[in-house]
Amino acid sequence: MAHNSSSSAIAHSLFGGPVSSTHHHHGHHQHPALPLPAITPATSNAPTPVSASAMSAVSSNNTFVMTNSPMKSRAIMDNYRPKVTRTLGQRPACLVNASVTYCGNNQIYAFGGFDQYTDEVYNHVLKLDLVSHQWSLVDNYGDIPGVRMGHTATLYQGDKLLVFGGENEHRTYLSDLIIFDLKSAHWTQPQVSGPIPKGRARHAAVLHEDKLFIIGGITGHESYVSEDICYLDLKTYTWSRSWRFVPRFDHSAYVWNDRIWVFGGLSRDMDKIGDLCWLDLKGSPDFESPPQMGSTVDRHTISSRSSDTPRTPYSLGTAPPLSASGFAANIRAAQVSTPSFHLKKQVPMAPGAISVLRFVSGGNVPSQGSGIHFHIYSSGNLLDFVTPVATITPKECSLSALDLNTLRWQKLAEGREIFKPGYQWHYCTMNEDGTKAWLLGCPTDAANDVGAGGFEEYLSDIMEIDLRRYGFLGNNAASESRAEYARPTTHARIQDQPSKGLGHDLAKLFNQPPETGSGTDFIITALAGDDYDDDDMMGSSLIRAGESPMDQNWLTPDAPTSAPIHVHKLILQARWPHFARLYNAQMAEFHTKKMHIPEPYTVVKAFLHYLYTDSIHYDDGPTDLSDVAGLLVMSNIYNIPHLRLLCVNRLSKELDVEHACIIWYCAGLASEEWLRKRAASFCLTHWGRIVRTQGFLRLPRSALVELSQEIDMEGRVIAGEELEYVDNCRGRFDTSGVSRKDSMSSDHTQALPSDVEDSEGMDMA
């Protein structure tokens, strides 16, 4: 919304109070507006094109006021809820210990598994098209692997699945590696060398620098829990030796920041584990150098392999009888596991530092002891889905995230905000970017059962979860490290510093006057920071983003502004869609080479800096959280999705007492409902501290009322001995990780809405 800036248009905002115009400029002071020629004020906020003869009447001293509500047709974001879709075609049975992998191109592949109803083990390749939601059986060729379950299938180079291990129908543990080419549907078994690891199942596999790491699992004749870690060099197909790491199975693994992280799973005592373990890879020659080749064990392994009975070739002849799942069961053939020379002997500890972290307690720490958990990793974060089952209440379901950098848990959403009642989920997979996840499952009530002969579990439904809506940037756009923006030392030679990318180079030209040779050709000003009025919280146009402009688009002669920000018109045209529309229309304001944005100076400067660098960090450190909250509102006003994602990611991770009210308020202005709810819950949990912050005291009266009404009708504030008593009871009896908010609000204990109400926002295909 464009306001007629006058002497009263000062920086009255939530973003840290008054903003001094000299804060980010060296020696600059507020510049008084120069005299304006007699121009009839515009009656609309729409810029007006001018003819060539009229251009002379437009003085270069005029300053156009940028509207703060250009996206009039922009739809307000609804409350995000993941979508549940019914699949089509011959739905596979709920195979136990199959592999389910997202392989790009909107396709999920499932391989192998054990049918719990027919007692059959499979080697089928199934494909789910996420566009048509159609299941299909893939015709596959080549050296087709035998039936198996408990194996891993890892996507490699975008078009190959690396299938390792598992157990066959004879409960023999396997240690072979088979590669499935997704383009040709052809199986190959590469010739490997080196000490082949023990056969195993229900292990974890993870890729790192063309190495396939195998961790843990169940192995041996006694089915003991393995603590081994080893890797296969995919350039030479050579196995490394095995080392001791951590004994567990049914766990997850992830490589990030030169560390292998392991979480969840079961221990040797069949206990569910909530410990986090990691192994440092950096600096260890055993992990950085190729494994040695040509040992006696290698020759023995190869000769033993060549004497094995060749695999039964794949045949397209008479089809075997159909199983209960609707797919033909594979003809079982005897399969011998690859010889293993790692007998049950003591192996050395893995090189590199091994660390174990146990989360003893915490309101946001998900309890691993109950429910069905799915663990995936994105952007340096561990995500924990606690999905609905009959043994836990809906209140105990949730989506939580552990930041592997700070080792801090956060609860991103309650279960009822994600999961639709009446469904159970069996598998979870994620795309390589780490921006989307899919849960595969089936209904739990007979009314929605898709089985032909009674209630059975099928992979009949799929739920897509957009992780970007919860502030995750994805693996290809990881969070900006503050260390990368450390101020350079005084003795560093600039000419010896290599370029850090186009954004870093452009940042050197940002806000440099033309006389320095920077080539800047446009000036932008913001709200002045003087004469702050504590009683007026509505001065910033960010706070009035919903109002309709009724004033003129030119700055009045006596309007105070911030110091000028020198920019390049071409960069703004390329990076700011709304600016580009005005520029391409050759509106009058571009002949003045000046623009005023009626927002706080620090927010405007951070916004323009983002346009140059694609980052919300300055060279000398991260942007203040209050300014990031202002950037979130501007990303919504000007419809810049990437800026919005950066802001949500930063604000959700660094939510604190001092800025919680500001984040809550700005998230509401920007229609970021998920972030607004998180900030509101944080405010209520720490209410006593929140009400004493400057952010709370500067909230508009209507916002104060709205924030207070986040507490439900039966809520009350407790303190003193009563609070201590509640905390003690919670520590003794509550293992679900409920936060202190429950001691002041009964919002979590209300009955769930009916199926009709809960279906809102859940589209069924």
**pLDDT tens-place string over residues 109-143:** 999 999 888 889 999 999 999 999 999 999 999 99
Please give the average per-residue pLDDT across 93-107, as a whole number: 92
Question: Rounded to an integer, what distance in angstroms lies between the CA atom of residue 341 and that of residue 300?
Answer: 10
Mean pLDDT of the chain: 75
Per the domain annotation, does 454 fall within a domain? no
Indicate which CATH number applies to the domain containing 598: 3.30.710.10
Query: Which range of residues forms the domain containing residue 288?
Result: 195-310+333-358
Does residue 735 fall inside a structural domain? no
Domain presence at residue 604: yes
What is the count of structural domains for the chain? 2
What pLDDT score was predicted for residue 124?
Answer: 93
pLDDT at position 22 = 40
| Structural contact between residues 531 and 10, judged by C-beta atoms closer than 8 angstroms | yes
* Residue 710's pLDDT band (cuts 50, 70, 90): confident
Give one DSSP letter per residue of 306-354, joined into a string.
Answer: HTSPPPPPP--SSPPPB-TTSSBPPPP----PPP----S---PBPSS-E
CA–CA distance, 562 with 29 (Å, rounded to integer): 8
Q: Is the pLDDT confidence value at 425 over 60?
A: yes
In a domain, 704, yes or no: yes
Quick one: pLDDT at residue 165? 95
pLDDT of 546: 41
Region class of 703: left (phi > 0), else alpha (psi between -120 and 50), else beta: alpha
**Alpha-carbon gap, residue 750 to 395, rounded angstroms:** 10
Could you tell me what percent of the chain has a pLDDT over 70? 67
Residues 532 and 674 in one domain: yes
SS3 state at 554: strand
* Global pTM value: 0.71
pLDDT of residue 506: 82
What separation in angstroms does the CA of 288 have from each of 258, 354, 486?
Answer: 11, 17, 29
In this structure, are residues 370 and 415 in contact, taking their beta carbons and an 8 Å threshold?
no
Is residue 689 within 8 Å of 711, Cβ to Cβ? Answer: no
Asked, for residue 413, whether it belongs to a domain, the answer is: no
| Higher-confidence position of 313 and 98 | 98
Is residue 477 a part of any domain in this protein? no
Percent of the chain with pLDDT over 90: 38
Is residue 32's pLDDT more than 80? no
pLDDT for position 451: 53
In a domain, 109, yes or no: no
Residue 763 domain-assigned? no
Residues 207 and 66 in one domain: no
In three-state secondary structure terms, 144 is coil
What is residue 197's DSSP assignment? Answer: P
Write out the H or E segment, with its range, that includes residue 199.
Answer: none
Sheet holding 134-137, edge to edge: 99-102, 107-111, 125-129, 134-137
Residue 11 CA, distance from chain mean position: 34
Let me know whether 65 and 210 are in one domain. no
> 641-680 b/e with 16+ CB inside 10 Å = b?
eebbbbbbbbbbbebebebbbbbbbbbbbbbbbbbbbbbb
pLDDT score at 119: 84
Q: Are residues 208 and 68 in the same domain?
A: no
- State the average pLDDT over residues 468-484: 68
